[in-house]
Amino acid sequence: MADHAKTAAGVLAGVGGESNVQSLVHCATRLRFVLKDEGKADAAAIRATPGVITTAQAGGQYQVVIGNDVPDVYAAIQSQTTLGGDAEGGESGAKGNLFNRFITMISSIFTPILWALAGTGLLKAFVAAAVTFGWLDATSTTYTILNALSDALINFLPLALAITAARYFKASEFTSFAVAGALVYPTITALNGQPDITFFGIPVTMVSYVSSVIPVIIIVWLQSYAERFLLKVLPGAVRRFLTPMIVVLVAVPLVFLVIGPISSLVGGGLAAGIGWVFQTLPWLGGAIMGGLWQVFVIFGLHWGLVPLFQLEYQTTGQILLLGPVFAAVLAQAAAVAGVLVRTRNKNLRSLAAPATLSGFLAGITEPAIYGINLPLKRPFAFGVVGGALGGALIAMGGVFSKAFVVPSGLALPALLGNGNMLMLGIGLLVAIAVPFVLVVVFGFTDPVDAAAPATPAVATDTVVLSPVDGTVVPLTEVPDAAFADGSLGKGVAIRPTSGAVYAPFDATVVAAFPTGHAIGLRGVDGVELLIHVGLDTVKLGGEHFTLKVQSGTEVKAGDLLVEFDGDAIEKAGYDLITPVIVTNGDLYPDVSDVASGPLSHGETLFRAISVDSLSTAR
């Protein structure tokens, strides 16, 4: 079972600690950090952390790809730090050029509602398919109820976006909710398209705000500035209730008079442009979406297209852009399925099997892309080719979706009955068959099993020598809950009396943090050890530490790993207590023969007890 606390701790240390994090949000598969100094992040150490697929830097964010467990790892980081929650996102967290800031904003606003939007969209697709195939009567009350519960979120999308936008722009959430509520209020919605609408004599061109995106984001952004101004200038006795009253009184008419009509024109123009491309050159639009969608995902640029999906749906009631994306997703899943068939590498096959399943069924392709297809190069390229060909055929068939869904095998009902179904079937078949056949026929450079880090078939007990000179203390006395309660691993702590860290056994350095405050080792017997010099010392940014090795270095017991100035570290206000813990508790669940009192480096510190040893003892 995945240890999300360990993954969270490893990722946090790898990005330079909490002090180096400006903001943190997560999307469907990634932790998205905005770091104060990306130079402090150790990509090798992060990637070596159990539960991490890979890292990427795009859109002004340092992205850590986790996969399906990302909400759990995010929650674990929240429990260990003050990151996330009210602190996530925000303009203070945005940096870089205007485009990067736009991508960050869109991902922060849409991420919290993405799965609910996709889930209810999938339900709406199933309901529509049931009506199409005659399984459900559209005049029945059953249909009315199912349609309402599947359509409510997309219908009242401005309300949801008001909350997430308020969190991002640091505005009052419930004032934003009141503004958005006015936009979709039943009597206001009924005014759409009616002539001679005025507000205090000013003509109003009323447009529909149902399912809208742009107006609420713009007005909440403006609201954030208005609130800061009003809270500063209004008397303390009245500012708390006058501020929301003034904001609502000004913001809603501003939307009706200016923002709404302009955004309606912009949205209509974009939707018309999309429609023109898919009507006149459908193969081109489909090939671009099907071929490049996964490339957009790699760089985080796909978030820039999410509002276009919604604008197209609001304007036309359908999403042409979404059909070819099914081809893109299924093509990468098919490519990794080809790897599963072709490879003779046991480790690669064990990764490819679940990656194939999650790609085809759930549309989660990050494990396939980052773990297999991209590193092997050819499978990813073949997936792009299959996605482009399949996407072109789907677009030529005029296939569209009537709901926002995450493209996957399970979400295919969203496309059924919408466009030419023969072309849809051919397009999907091509998208799956082409990359699969290309991977199987032309192959790739198959990794050799021996090149992977060796883990013995039977884990054996390992004697861990003291890596530092000092006095042994129990982990329970470490003033850090993550170490003290053993959630990061079993072991002990040492109060150093000298300034050097030595290898406690023959090992490979799997994580050498550039700050020098921590070292991760994998022993020849398979035991994995973390030596963490001091608490919160990552905040020193490498000051007072001198790293003597790097990730991948082979070391022998007694080799020098790190030098540090203990006196300077303590004078800087940091506790020098040094936890030494076993991090792969699944193979080494306990320790024994723990030393006590003073000892020198090279003397026995404890014995890491293997699970095989425990089984034999029983």
Instruction: Using the predicted structure, report yes or no on whether residue 449 has a pLDDT greater than 60.
Output: no
Phi, psi of 560 (to 5 degrees): -75, 130
pLDDT of 426: 96
Asked about 601 being catalytic, the answer comes back as: no
pLDDT of 361: 79
pLDDT of 287: 92
């982990």: which residue's tokens?
475
Q: Evaluate if pTM is beyond 0.85.
A: no
pLDDT of 89: 42
Instruction: Using the predicted structure, report yes or no on whether residue 458 has a pLDDT greater than 60.
Output: no
Distances (CA, A) of 170 to 86, 165, 226, 387: 9, 8, 11, 40
Sheet hosting strand 590-592, strand order edge to edge: 462-465, 604-609, 590-592
pLDDT of 453: 45
Please report, as a single letter, which amino acid is at residue 17. G
Catalytic residue among 26, 302, 532, 544: 532
Q: pLDDT, tens digit, for every residue of 268-309?
A: 777 677 778 888 899 998 999 999 888 877 665 666 677 778
Please report, as a single letter, which amino acid is at residue 598. P
Catalytic residue among 4, 26, 27, 544: 27
Instruction: Using the predicted structure, report yes or no on whether residue 155 has a pLDDT greater than 90.
Output: no
Instruction: Using the predicted structure, report yes or no on whether residue 93 has a pLDDT greater than 70.
Output: no
Class of residue 256 by CB neighbours under 10 A (exposed 0-12, middle 13-18, buried 19+)? buried
Question: Could you give the maximum distance between any two Cα atoms of the chain, in Å?
Answer: 90
Class of residue 134 by CB neighbours under 10 A (exposed 0-12, middle 13-18, buried 19+)? exposed
Which structure tokens are listed for 599?
Answer: 């000892």
Q: pLDDT, tens digit, for every residue of 322-372?
A: 899 999 999 999 999 999 998 887 767 877 887 788 788 777 776 677 668
Which residues does residue 470 pair with via DSSP β-bridges, in sequence order? Answer: 496, 599
CA 62, 376, 303, 321: dihedral to nearest 10 degrees?
180
Which structure tokens are listed for 134?
Answer: 């005659």
As a whole number of angstroms, the distance between CA 72 and CA 80 comes to 12
pLDDT of 183: 92
Instruction: Using the predicted structure, report yes or no on whether residue 537 has a pLDDT greater than 70.
Output: yes
Q: pLDDT, tens digit, for every residue of 205-228?
A: 888 888 888 889 999 999 999 999
Asked about 4 being catalytic, the answer comes back as: no
Q: What is the mean pLDDT of the chain?
A: 83
